[in-house]
Structure formats: C-alpha cells, structure tokens
C-alpha cells in the first residue's frame, strides 16, 4: 500500500540517520544514545509510521533543553529477578532506554525462556512497534507498550481518563515475513484527528465524545473539550487498562492522571512507563518448527477467500514492511509535516542539513 506525499523530498535512511545523530550529539547525548535513538526513529519512518518517527526528535531535544529529559543520564536496574527487571530510566533519552530495555528482556528470556522489563521515570518512546520488532529480529516473540497522559475517555464516562496507551507485538516467521501489529488503543491516533481538523475533512462519530460524553463528529472542540474514544469500545478500553497495569502500576511510573504530557511546556517530568516482554520461542519448541508453523498460519490467512472488490489480504505489519523495502530502495518519502519538523530541528540546534546531503525542502 504505497503512500505518496505532495511536495516531498525522498531522503536516504543513511543521510537522515547521520543528520539525526549529529543533532543529538550537538545536544550533549552520548554517541550510543544518539545512534540507538536515530535507529528507532529512522526505522519507524522507513515503515511509513511518520507520526512517530524523526518528526518526534525536535520535541525530544526540546525536552532535553527544558530539563525534562537528560542528555547525560543513564538508566539503572532498580530491581530484578531471573526473568524480570524494573528499570529506572532517570529521564535518559527514551528510545535509547527502551532499545536497551528490550535487549535486557531478551537477555532474561535467553536465561529463563521469557523476560519482562518494566521502565519508570521515562517519557515518549515513539512507535511501540520498533521494540517488538527488535525481539522478532532476534527470533523471539516481542511485546512492547507504554502509558500516555490521559486523552481518552472510557465507556460510561466523560472527560479524560486513560492515555492512548499503544501496544505492539511481533513474531518471527520462516520463509514468510515476520508478523507485527502496532496500534494505539484509542479509535485512532490523535494525529489523525488533528490532520482532519486542519484539512477540514469530516470524521465519523466514533472517534470523539463531546463534553457530555456523547459521540460527536465535531472536532472543533478537540482537544480542549472533546476527548478520544477507545478502539472497539470496551475492548480497546480493556486493553488500555492492561497497558496501564504493566507499564505503570507495576513499574512505579505515573498512573493515568499523574502522567504529564511530554509535548506541553511544563517543568514537570512526564514519568511515563514502558513494558517490554520477550519470549524465546526456540526454548519452547524447536525454532525451525515454530517458524514453519508461523508460515503455515500466514499462508492460510493469505489464501482466505477475498471480499468483493478486495485484491489481497495483508498480515499485520505487511503494509509497513513493504513500505520499508521501498524506502530503503528508493528513499524515504517524508511528508511535509515531517520535513517541517526536521527543518525546525536543524534550526534549533544550528546544524545545516545540506552537510548530510539532506534536502528538507528549505
Ligand atoms: N508513544 C506514544 O505515546 C504513542 C501513543 C499512541 C500511538 N503511538 C503509535 O502510533 C502509531 C500509529 O497507531 P495507530 O493506532 O494509528 O495505528 P493504525 O491504526 O495505523 O494501525 C497500524 C497497524 O495495523 C496494521 N494494519 C493496518 N491495516 C491493516 C490491514 N488491512 N491488514 C492487516 N493489518 C493492518 C498495520 O500493519 C499496523 O500494525 C503506532 O506506531 C503506535 O505505537 C504511540
């Protein structure tokens, strides 16, 4: 499913990565934190999840300048057992902390078959999918989730109760591609409502409720009064609660209304929590057998009868993996809002993107 953007400049992943690393190094981050964060964000862009890729770096580095994140802090293990750990992020760069935390979950899984790592004192980690895919790339089943400041209501309520608490899983396959789902637990990501609002396009009445808690397709009061609905009603609500438990209740991170938004101007730390789970499937069943069974499952899904008008069936993650193939072969087709954010980032830190052969449409 190809995305095409107006006024775009296709950039190579390598040039974009080098630029992002330079902006972080200039902001005082270690080479490792800059490299890992750039890998998370640029990979997310190659998958076409532009809302949570390099677009977020400008805001993350503003948080560093504002003292809400630390360029020099490093996370620590606060408590651990053979199969689990609780990590205190100390507000180090969240994508780098999250990368290492999933690696720790995989290390625990290598020892025990399964590993859980919860993180507290953190902030925005980007797209949940990157970390789940990291496990799948290492022949493990991966789960990744985080809690977010409340912007979603729950059935029977009005006003903000829970965050859009994203969740992602990924599983390796054999001859077929790995499978991964990466979703917010709200009906849609807030960025989609902002986009409709700025373009003036209509939205259905199951994305938002008004200040009385009643469904509305009027986004004029969003986000001040209208709030988001969970995906699939009580089902998305129930999953968002599970994310809150594993990322915050269990880790010591801020819970629900205690979480501060990372995008507002505030001196308060966000204290978001994350959770990473890895299952070393090869310890439960020979890896080749697992992958063969995955291939069988995928092929059965893909050969299901097509609905009238449909030309193919996608597995979760397949659309993104095909976009990544094209981004790596032909360049990343960055949309205008990402280009604008990267131009702002270049200006904020005083780095000329041309130095990295990066045409941001300046
Ligand atoms: N860190 C945060 O604070 C935060 C908060 C909310 C969301 N997010 C991120 O926002 C991103 C977007 O979330 P979203 O809810 O808008 O995602 P979405 O609704 O676009 O769903 C994307 C997922 O659905 C799958 N999918 C889509 N169409 C499909 C089809 N036809 N067949 C099979 N699978 C299909 C995709 O492969 C992908 O896994 C995610 O990366 C999420 O992690 C992050």
Report whether pLDDT(74) > 90. yes
> For ligand 1, is residue 236 a contact (CB within 6 Å)?
no
Q: Whose CA is nearest to atom 27 of ligand 1?
A: 316
pLDDT digits (tens, 9 = 90+) for 274-292: 999 999 999 999 999 999 9
| Structure-token pair, residue 207 | 């994305």
DSSP string, 20-52: HHHHHHHTT--HHHHHHHHHHHHHHHHTT-GGG
Residue found under tokens 């030309």: 311
> For ligand 1, is residue 184 a contact (CB within 6 Å)?
yes
Closest CA to 127 of 110, 102, 92: 102
pLDDT digits (tens, 9 = 90+) for 139-157: 999 999 999 999 999 999 9
Q: Whose CA is nearest to atom 35 of ligand 1?
A: 316
Dist. CA 271 → ligand 1 center (Å):
23
> For ligand 1, is residue 103 a contact (CB within 6 Å)?
no
Range with the lowest mean pLDDT among 155-169, 188-202, 219-233, 293-307?
Answer: 188-202
The pLDDT value given to residue 9: 56
| Mean pLDDT computed over 331-359 | 94
> For ligand 1, is residue 351 a contact (CB within 6 Å)?
no
The pLDDT value given to residue 4: 61
Look up the CATH number of domain 69-183+231-326: 3.30.1370.60
Query: In angstroms, rounded to a whole number, what is the distance separating the alpha carbons of residues 285 and 283?
Result: 6
pTM of the predicted model as reported, rounded to 2 decimal places: 0.96
Report whether pLDDT(355) > 60. yes
**Nearest atom in ligand 1 to 189's CA:** 16
Annotation: CATH topology of 187-229: Wheat Germ Agglutinin (Isolectin 2); domain 1 (3.30.60)
Dist. CA 260 → ligand 1 center (Å):
23
- Beta carbons within 10 angstroms of residue 184's beta carbon: 25
The pLDDT value given to residue 3: 59
Mutation pick for ligand 1 pocket among 319, 320, 323 (CB with most ligand atoms within 8 Å): 319
| Residue 79 · residue 120 · CB < 8 Å | no
52-71: burial string, b at 16+ Cβ within 10 Å, e else: bbbbbbbebbbbbeeebbbb
Q: Whose CA is nearest to atom 9 of ligand 1?
A: 127
**Nearest atom in ligand 1 to 315's CA:** 33
| Mean pLDDT computed over 245-249 | 98
Mutation pick for ligand 1 pocket among 165, 183, 190 (CB with most ligand atoms within 8 Å): 183
Count Cα neighbours of 65 within 13 Å in the Cβ-side half-sphere. 14
> For ligand 1, is residue 124 a contact (CB within 6 Å)?
yes
- H or E element that contains 64: helix 57-65
Dist. CA 81 → ligand 1 center (Å):
32
For residue 265, report the phi and psi dihedrals to the nearest 5 degrees.
-80, 110
Beta-strand ranges (E) seen in 123-240 are 141-146, 167-171, 179-183, 208-209, 215-216, 227-228
Q: Whose CA is nearest to atom 21 of ligand 1?
A: 183
pLDDT digits (tens, 9 = 90+) for 6-28: 444 579 999 999 999 999 999 99
Q: Where are the domains of the chain?
A: 1-65+331-362, 69-183+231-326, 187-229
> For ligand 1, is residue 40 a contact (CB within 6 Å)?
no
| Mean pLDDT computed over 326-354 | 95
The pLDDT value given to residue 318: 98
Annotation: CATH topology of 1-65+331-362: Hypothetical Oxidoreductase Yiak; Chain: A, domain 1 (1.10.1530)
């Amino acid at each position: 499913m190809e995305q095409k953007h107006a006024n775009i400049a296709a950039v190579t992943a390598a040039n974009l990565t080098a630029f992002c690393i330079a902006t972080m190094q200039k902001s005082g981050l270690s080479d490792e934190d800059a490299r890992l964060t750039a890998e998370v964000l640029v990979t997310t862009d190659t998958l076409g999840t532009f809302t949570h890729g390099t677009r977020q770096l400008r805001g993350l580095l503003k948080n560093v300048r504002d003292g809400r994140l630390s360029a020099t802090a490093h996370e620590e293990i606060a408590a651990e057992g053979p199969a689990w750990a609780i990590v205190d992020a100390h507000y180090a760069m969240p994508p780098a902390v999250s990368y290492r935390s999933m690696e720790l979950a995989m290390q625990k899984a290598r020892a025990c078959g399964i590993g859980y790592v919860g993180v507290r004192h953190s902030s925005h980690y980007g797209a949940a999918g990157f970390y789940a895919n990291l496990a799948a790339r290492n022949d493990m089943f991966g789960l990744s989730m985080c809690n977010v400041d409340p912007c979603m209501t729950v059935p029977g309520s009005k006003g903000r109760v829970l965050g859009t608490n994203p969740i992602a899983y990924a599983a390796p396959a054999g001859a077929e591609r790995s499978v991964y789902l990466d979703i917010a637990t709200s009906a849609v990501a807030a960025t989609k409502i902002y986009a409709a609002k700025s373009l003036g396009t209509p939205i259905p009445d199951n994305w938002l409720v008004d200040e009385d808690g009643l469904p509305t397709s009027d986004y004029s009061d969003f986000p001040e009064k209208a709030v988001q609905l969970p995906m699939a009603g009580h089902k998305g609500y129930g999953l968002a609660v599970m994310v809150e438990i594993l990322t915050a209740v269990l880790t010591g991170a801020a819970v629900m209304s205690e979480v501060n938004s990372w995008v507002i101007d505030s001196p308060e730390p966000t204290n978001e929590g994350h959770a990473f789970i890895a299952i070393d499937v090869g310890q439960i069943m020979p890896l080749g057998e697992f992958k063969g069974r995955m291939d069988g499952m995928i092929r059965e899904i893909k050969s299901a009868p097509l609905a009238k008008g449909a030309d193919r069936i996608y597995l979760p993650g397949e659309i993104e993996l095909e976009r990544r193939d094209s981004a790596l072969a032909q360049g990343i087709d960055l949309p205008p809002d990402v280009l604008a954010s990267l131009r702002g980032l270049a200006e904020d830190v005083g780095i000329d993107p041309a130095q990295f052969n990066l045409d941001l449409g300046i």
